[in-house]
Copies of this chain bind each other. A is one copy, B any other.
């Protein structure tokens, strides 16, 4: 037996399928008792409307929404704080790719801990404002993801890999693993890590690489910080004032790393001579930092293209909803001055 359709529901409820359709699309236009009867029939038949199919039956909007999930650690939402630059890059890459394909990009932010905010995002597709969503989440258990899955909204997760969802993931753990393994292999023995809970995957890579290199995980070399230059600056001063000095620092991202370099400079600590530094993201400015910054290059544009192509395939029905597209994009360690070994051969 095939999937239950609205004609099955109509037959069971004793109404025309047009009325059933109206209940799905404009429930406010249907008399309360009629609606109750039809909704009961839907429940009896375990009918689940396909939002993607509904969006298709309507005129497709040829719009997608890029949704930034604000986690607890994400700064801003204070009216006067300026937003961060990094998500701006992802957003711009989506603007570029959607534009090239004649799609319109809508940007929305979701306070994932607020049910109303989540509901507004989840209804963007049923309201036919967009055909599907790209969700930039920081946590696998972001409740927006579960809501979208339950409502069968076409969406792709960007950045993370999430079981049961299409995703374009960054290989965060492997990326930091590679960087720390490189540092250990080339002589660093006291490698610090600046991140915090938001960097959980990256921290895993750090921890695993230390273990493999036979180096202890030392709590006094690990610190949480804002993902900003100011955060990196303050955390580095704290490390320098701590019980033991690191000989290398892996920063959660390049912005943090710029703060690290400045703090070392202000304290007269030579980088890379005394402390080597690694960032993450490989932003254009890193090559012009003093010293130029070793970092982890993320194929953002490839990830954006994959996420977009996947979403369009789901929207247009050329990919079945349960044929998951899950790709983890490898990163690349880009070596620059900030990790020079000063002529010492790697051992």
State the A residues within 8 Å of B (CB). Answer: 63, 68, 76-77, 79-80, 82-85, 87-89, 91-93, 95-96, 99-100, 104-109, 129, 228-230, 232-233, 255, 258-259, 261-262, 265, 283-285, 287-290, 292, 300-301
Q: What would be 10 A-B contacts, judged by CB atoms less than 8 Å apart?
A: A63-B129, A79-B100, A104-B129, A105-B106, A229-B285, A255-B285, A258-B285, A262-B288, A262-B290, A285-B285
Say yes or no: B82 contacts A88, CB within 8 Å.
no
Say yes or no: A301 contacts B80, CB within 8 Å.
yes
* Minimum Cβ distance to chain B for residue A320 (Å): 29
* Minimum Cβ distance to chain B for residue A101 (Å): 11
In the complex, the chain B residue whose C-beta lies closest to that of A264 is B290
Nearest 10 A/B pairs, CB to CB: A88-B88, A83-B92, A262-B288, A229-B288, A290-B290, A95-B107, A258-B288, A88-B92, A85-B85, A105-B107
* Minimum Cβ distance to chain B for residue A188 (Å): 22
Among candidates B63, B89, B232, B292, residue contacting A85 with C-beta atoms closer than 8 Å? B89
B residues less than 8 Å from A82 (CB atoms): 89, 92-93, 284, 300-301
Q: Given the complex of chains A and B, what is the CA–CA distance between A232 and B232 in angstroms?
A: 26
Say yes or no: B228 contacts A284, CB within 8 Å.
yes
Q: Given the complex of chains A and B, what is the CA–CA distance between A290 and B293 in angstroms?
A: 13
Say yes or no: A83 contacts B96, CB within 8 Å.
yes
Q: Given the complex of chains A and B, what is the CA–CA distance between A227 and B294 in angstroms?
A: 23
Say yes or no: A229 contacts B108, CB within 8 Å.
no
Q: Given the complex of chains A and B, what is the CA–CA distance between A108 and B62 in angstroms?
A: 13
Q: Given contacts A88-B91, A89-B83, A229-B287, is CB(A292)–CB(B262) below 8 Å?
A: yes
Say yes or no: A99 contacts B91, CB within 8 Å.
no
Q: Given contacts A88-B88, A105-B106, is CB(A288)–CB(B261) below 8 Å?
A: yes
Q: Given the complex of chains A and B, what is the CA–CA distance between A262 and B337 in angstroms?
A: 12
Say yes or no: B92 contacts A288, CB within 8 Å.
no
What is the predominant secondary structure among interface residues of chain A facing chain B? Answer: helix
B residues less than 8 Å from A104 (CB atoms): 106, 108, 129
* Minimum Cβ distance to chain B for residue A105 (Å): 5
Say yes or no: A108 contacts B99, CB within 8 Å.
yes
Q: Given the complex of chains A and B, what is the CA–CA distance between A285 and B255 in angstroms?
A: 7
B residues less than 8 Å from A89 (CB atoms): 82-83, 85, 88
Q: Given the complex of chains A and B, what is the CA–CA distance between A93 and B82 in angstroms?
A: 7
Q: Given the complex of chains A and B, what is the CA–CA distance between A282 and B285 in angstroms?
A: 15
Q: Given the complex of chains A and B, what is the CA–CA distance between A99 and B83 in angstroms?
A: 13
Q: Given the complex of chains A and B, what is the CA–CA distance between A79 and B101 in angstroms?
A: 12
Q: Given the complex of chains A and B, what is the CA–CA distance between A232 and B290 in angstroms?
A: 15
* Minimum Cβ distance to chain B for residue A313 (Å): 20
* Minimum Cβ distance to chain B for residue A289 (Å): 8
In the complex, the chain B residue whose C-beta lies closest to that of A262 is B288
* Minimum Cβ distance to chain B for residue A143 (Å): 19
Interface centre among A76, A91, A107, A229 (most CB of B within 10 A): A107
Q: Given contacts A106-B105, A288-B258, is CB(A283)–CB(B99) below 8 Å?
A: no
Say yes or no: A83 contacts B93, CB within 8 Å.
yes
* Minimum Cβ distance to chain B for residue A81 (Å): 9
Say yes or no: B233 contacts A288, CB within 8 Å.
yes
In the complex, the chain B residue whose C-beta lies closest to that of A100 is B79
